[in-house]
Structure formats: C-alpha cells, structure tokens
C-alpha cells in the first residue's frame, strides 16, 4: 500500500491536542514551532487555521498558557496541563502499545 492511499484509509486528525500537549511537555514553543514539529511527525504541517483554534481551546481548558515574547506568543503547560498529558500518555500507551510494538 502506498503512503497516499494509507492517508485516505486512516484519519489521524484527532491527535492534534495530544501532540500539542506532548510537545509542550518537552519545551515551551510558539505556534509556528508547534506546527513545524507536528509536521515533522505527521509528514504534513498543520495550517494556522488548524493549530491556533486548537491552542485557543487548550487555553480555554486551562491546560496551557500563552506569554507574549515580542511579536510571538510562547505556550507552556499549566500544572493541570502537566497532569493531563501524564494521564493521556499513560492512556495512549495502554491503548496503542501493542500497535507500537508491531513497528519494532
């Protein structure tokens, strides 16, 4: 099966919030950095119209906060965000660990 056909068979868009929280658990980043890092993992960089609404939603849930640094807003996890990504990562490993093991 070629990669293009695989993309049409399995929609991975629901992982965006998880990916943002995971990346912010490693380092503070601004929106463009997040989009670039997610693009490296997915093979396709999310557009601003995708990434910024997700960031807005995560801020509304008090999982991240944004601090202005010049023209940029740099995002970081809140304590609730750290707790949430720990739980989400544990859940992800339980739910998908056997799939990950197949890749090895």
Q: Show the domains of the chain with their CATH numbers.
A: 14-102 (1.10.10.10)
Average pLDDT, the chain: 86
Does residue 95 contact residue 102 with C-beta atoms inside 8 Å? no
pTM: 0.81
Inter-CA distances, 61 with 30, 36, 48, 80, 103, Å: 18, 23, 20, 9, 34
Spatial strand order of the sheet with 29-30 comes to: 29-30, 72-77, 64-69
The confidence band for 94, taking pLDDT boundaries of 50, 70 and 90, is confident
Q: What is the pLDDT of residue 97?
A: 81
- The whole-angstrom distance between residue 38's C-alpha and the CA centroid of its chain comes to 7
Of 22-26, 34-38, 42-46, the one with minimum mean pLDDT is 42-46
15 burial level (CB within 10 Å; 0-12, 13-18, 19+): middle
Question: 10 or 36: whose pLDDT is higher?
Answer: 36
91 pLDDT above the threshold of 50: yes
């Amino acid at each position: 099966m070629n990669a293009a056909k695989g993309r049409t068979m399995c929609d991975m868009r629901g992982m965006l919030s998880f990916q943002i929280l995971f990346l912010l658990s490693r380092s503070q980043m601004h929106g463009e950095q997040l989009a670039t890092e997610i693009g490296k993992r997915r093979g396709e960089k999310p557009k601003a119209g995708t990434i910024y609404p997700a960031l807005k939603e995560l801020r509304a849930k008090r999982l991240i906060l944004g601090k202005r640094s010049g023209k940029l807003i740099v995002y970081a996890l809140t304590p609730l965000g750290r707790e949430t990504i720990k739980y989400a990562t544990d859940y992800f490993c339980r739910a998908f660990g056997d799939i990950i093991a197949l890749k090895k």
